[in-house]
Structure 1
Amino acid sequence: MAYGGGGYALSYPLVEALVAKLDECIEKYHFIWAGDKLQSYCLADLGADLIPEKGFHQMDLRGDLSGFLSSHPTAPLLSLHHFGALAPLFPGMDRHGSVLQIMKAANVDQSRMLQQSVCYVRARNWTFSVSWGYSAHVYENIFPRSYLKLPIETFRPWLRGWFPFYMFNTRRVSRNPCEAPHWFFFDSLEQVEGGVVTSYTRKFIRNMTSCSFSGDISADPLASIRVFSPITPKEGRKVECCDVEYEGADVANIRLRDCRSDEIIS
């Protein structure tokens, strides 16, 4: 059964089959009051079972969703239910302005929205994590993708006192400079030959010391991150790898690409 709030989708042929049997089904299951549950029974009788889709979100969370959206699963973003219980998606914006902002990227390449790419500047011991169209993180340490896939717990549970609070694992917000990222948020995009460049800017200072005792690998000078994404087919989105160009200025340039055969993202 799919929650109606989180959303579900039916194919046109399935809708046609359902309409033909709907009155009969309602009479058969007259004791079921919830529409989504009733529909799941009707569809089961037609031989159609639910196929879970990670992009439908029954967002039983409150507060700041940035930690969740920055580690979104590899699936198209389709819905965020209970959106009114969440803080605005972008710092310094209201909820309406945040929706308009994130739609700038979604209108250009919906299939790539929030898809996470991880790459490294090993000379500086930096890790970059880009959530396309939303945010970019810079860590002054090397972390594997298996770790960065865990959402940072910037949000709160829907109800206090219930354990476990979430149906997924999380990372706690850290004040350790070797664990806490520098946060950059989507600012603008530009369509260029062969793809799109999205820009992410620093909205607030991390306000920590450098992870390195010498301070020579601090990411504090970074003011913005530019990400080039090539034009790719919209079907079958998969994890992408990336390369970083950084020569000590206040801008880092990242180019997304297909992962190479047997490439390990760590």
Structure 2
Amino acid sequence: MKVSQKDTEKFVWDHMRNTPGTPMSVTQSQTRALPKLLVWLIVFVTATYIVYTLKLVINSPSCDDEIFPAISHTSISLHTSKDGNFSSLPENQDLFRETEVKDIVFGIAASAKLWGKRKNYIKLWWKPGKMRGIVWLDNAVKSKEEEGLPPLRISGNTSRFAYKNRQGHRSAIRISRIVSETLRLGMENVRWFVMGDDDTVFVTENLVRILNKYDHNQYYYIGSLSESHLQNIFFSYGMAYGGGGFAISYPLAKALEKMQDKCIQRYPGLYGSDDRMQACMAELGVPLTKETGFHQYDVYGNLFGLLAAHPVTPLVSLHHLDVVEPIFPNVTRVEALKRLTIPMKLDSAGLIQQSICYEKKKTWTISVSWGFAIQILRGVLSPREIEMPSRTFLNWYRRADYTAYAFNTRPVARNPCQRPFVFYLSRARFDSITNQTVTVYDRHRVPHPACKWNLTSPAEIDRIVVYKKPDPHLWDRSPRRNCCRILESKKKSMVLDVGVCREGEITEI
């Protein structure tokens, strides 16, 4: 009798089902035990995770110390608001406010020989009781400390330092240590140290605006270059010029003070104080943060071209005031600068900011340097040309060489028809009714050569009045020139409105 393959398979399967202890029975038993095993596995993994996490939290450093080192020691407390809710605020709110002038300490390099004259520059911008700083002299002066000036101190002895530059003077070592010597006085709540010379005038409101862009808890070395291309080549394009002023954050000043004396010893051949300072900054690995509102003014002659086309940035400082001519004609240098302080108090943010507009009927180009001067030129010059300073000055080597500057310039016009008619600021006030500043500019009466162009002469204008609303938040926005608009006026006068450009407004030729 034949047994088929199907019958054989059926017999085997039936036997396996009915026989205890077979592999099938084992499989069914494992299937029933599997859920219990999974539960125990989940419990084990969860317990291991919890233990590991607790151990990590206990042994790890404080979050405040790692992520927020600047405020790691600030205690937090609960404050009750007017509506009864609680809010978590730091007890020391001073850390979170904006920088003010009281947070800045000035170190002013001065010479006893020139102090009697140059102290008058400092009186123009120094605010007793509101500012902190020291004038560091090389020798004692006969006059005692005066009201309206910072305290006077004598710099420390530097005879132990080598100085091997034959063209310079070893006073450079003394001046380079002013920031460190000022820090050692132990003044409290300092955010920035600002260096300047005794012939430097600061616009302190704009200085504060610049410094508020940067975190004073970090390493910052802020300043600007020389106007002289050759000076920058000889010294460094990465160096802040101390006459124009520079700012060093408090943490950087502390780091500098620890290593500066040893650093100075390594550079006996350098010329001045500025390059010594920059050499130490290079060793600390801190580059120059450039702000073009600090002005060294390594030039000779008339600053008119530079001031009438100031870059679109806040005016922070003016230097070498004994070298250049007075910025207003027919007055002394100090009297000229004193006149500039009037619009400075009305609207420091807009001081010497350029605006450009066109009198299309008469084909005139008008350039306004608010608070300083206005130019009217026959014909049409593009904004690209007008925003370049005209070369009314000589370079640091007393040459009229346009390749000597670290920026673009344009030549003074030779065509008699293109000579500008200049109107200088004569007075300024604030109109509380219209909430506007009113600045008046009178024509500078100098002979003008005859012009053969068939155009109306700007000589028919005697006075220009400019209306402008103060704009303290001008530099909180992206940099842009203000716009200029011509308003109706009487004969022999012109009225302009200067302010933030309206939507779609451009300076069209």
Give the TM-score taking structure 1 as reference length.
Answer: 0.88
Which structure: greater helix fraction?
2
Q: Distance in 2 between matches of 1:257 and 1:169?
A: 26
Please tell me the residue identity of whatever aligns with 1:15.
Answer: Y
- 1:45-64 CA distance string (max 9 Å, x none): 55542111111112111111
- Displacement, 1:242? 1.3
1:32 aligns to 2:267 (yes or no):
yes
Equivalent residue number for residue 426 of structure 2: 187
- Displacement, 1:25? 4.0
Q: Distance in 2 between matches of 1:203 and 1:175?
A: 19
Equivalent in 96, 101, 106 of residue 334 of structure 2: 96
Equivalent in 38, 50, 65 of residue 303 of structure 2: 65
Distance 1:29 1:96, change over 3 A: closer
Q: Distance in 2 between matches of 1:95 and 1:228?
A: 27
Equivalent residue number for residue 142 of structure 1: 380
Count how many residue pairs are aligned between Structure 1 and Structure 2: 261
- Displacement, 1:196? 0.3
Which structure: greater strand fraction?
1
Q: Distance in 1 between matches of 2:405 and 2:255?
A: 39
Question: Residues 346 and 429 of structure 2 are in contact (CA less than 8 Å); yes or no, is this contact kept in structure 1?
Answer: no
1:18 aligns to 2:257 (yes or no):
no
- 1:71-82 matches, within 5 Å, as 71-82=309-320
Equivalent residue number for residue 220 of structure 2: none
Q: Distance in 2 between matches of 1:176 and 1:151?
A: 18
Question: Residues 182 and 206 of structure 1 are in contact (CA less than 8 Å); yes or no, is this contact kept in structure 2?
Answer: no
- 1:1-266 matches, within 5 Å, as 1-10=239-248, 14-20=249-255, 22-32=257-267, 34-44=272-282, 48-160=286-398, 164-192=403-431, 193-210=434-451, 212-213=453-454, 215=455, 217-234=456-473, 235-236=475-476, 238-247=480-489, 249-265=491-507, 266=509
- 1:224-245 CA distance string (max 9 Å, x none): 1111111223433631111112
Question: Residues 211 and 218 of structure 1 are in contact (CA less than 8 Å); yes or no, is this contact kept in structure 2?
Answer: no
Q: Which one has a bigger Cα radius of gyration?
A: 2
Question: Residues 228 and 254 of structure 1 are in contact (CA less than 8 Å); yes or no, is this contact kept in structure 2?
Answer: yes
The percentage of aligned residue pairs carrying the same residue is 31
- Displacement, 1:88? 1.0
- Displacement, 1:180? 1.6
- Displacement, 1:218? 1.8
Please tell me the residue identity of whatever aligns with 2:442.
Answer: T
- 1:129-155 CA distance string (max 9 Å, x none): 000111000112122211101212221
Question: Residues 26 and 38 of structure 1 are in contact (CA less than 8 Å); yes or no, is this contact kept in structure 2?
Answer: no
After alignment, is 157-166 or 121-130 more displaced?
157-166
Give the TM-score taking structure 2 as reference length.
Answer: 0.48
Distance 1:15 1:143, change over 3 A: same
- Displacement, 1:254? 0.4
